[in-house]
Amino acid sequence: MGKVIVVPLWKRIFAYFLDVFLLSFLVLTPLLKPFSFDAEIGESFFQRFTSFSASFSADYIWLAFVVAFFFLLYFSVLETWFGQTVGKIIVGISVESTKKKPLGFLQAVIRNIPKLSGLLLLLDTLYLFFKKGNQRYFEVLSDTHVVVADGENHA
């Protein structure tokens, strides 16, 4: 377990955006292919999106659930196995259990639930400013915290 040092919020946000960029590229690129220009019916993804057809609505809802599942899986699996996502590795921070045992998968899932909704993530992050401990609300619920990764310069 790393020494608990308060991680600046900017590092956490930067790591999150690195992960979102990576996931957007890896997950959305192949998933959006079926939504690109449809030569058979002669309309693009944007045209289908703005038409609000029933079939597109079902496709969009399916896509949203698939993307949400991959986002939750990415953060939860990497944090459980390695304590870090790619973004956290680059920034030099990691996630640990506040209990005296390794981070569990359920803990990782709980702490990452707010990442499924922008509004929920904003409210969860605002909790940092009103309570001591440098933890988001869902980090408190999951008994986790973000620390400087082992081997990183603590200065």
Taking only the tens place, the pLDDT of each residue in 76-96 is: 999 999 999 999 999 999 999
In a domain, 58, yes or no: no
In a domain, 2, yes or no: no
In 3-state terms, what secondary structure has residue 145? strand
In a domain, 133, yes or no: yes
In a domain, 153, yes or no: no
End-to-end CA distance of the chain: 18
Query: How many independent structural domains does the chain possess?
Result: 1
In 3-state terms, what secondary structure has residue 108? helix
Query: Which of 16-20, 45-49, 53-57 is modeled with the greatest confidence?
Result: 16-20
In a domain, 110, yes or no: yes
Find out whether 148 and 3 touch, Cβ atoms under 8 Å: yes
In a domain, 15, yes or no: yes
Mean of the pLDDT values across residues 92-117? 96
The residue count for the chain = 155
Beta-strand relationship, 93-97 and 144-148: antiparallel
- DSSP, res 142: T
The whole model's pTM is what? 0.78
Per-residue pLDDT reduced to its tens digit, 114-150: 999 999 999 999 998 888 778 999 999 999 999 998 7
In a domain, 56, yes or no: no
The residue among 61, 74, 66, 62 whose CA lies nearest residue 23 is 74
Beta-sheet strands, E only, within the chain: 93-97, 144-148
Find out whether 112 and 105 touch, Cβ atoms under 8 Å: no
Domain that residue 104 falls in: 9-23+69-148
pLDDT for position 155 = 44
In a domain, 19, yes or no: yes
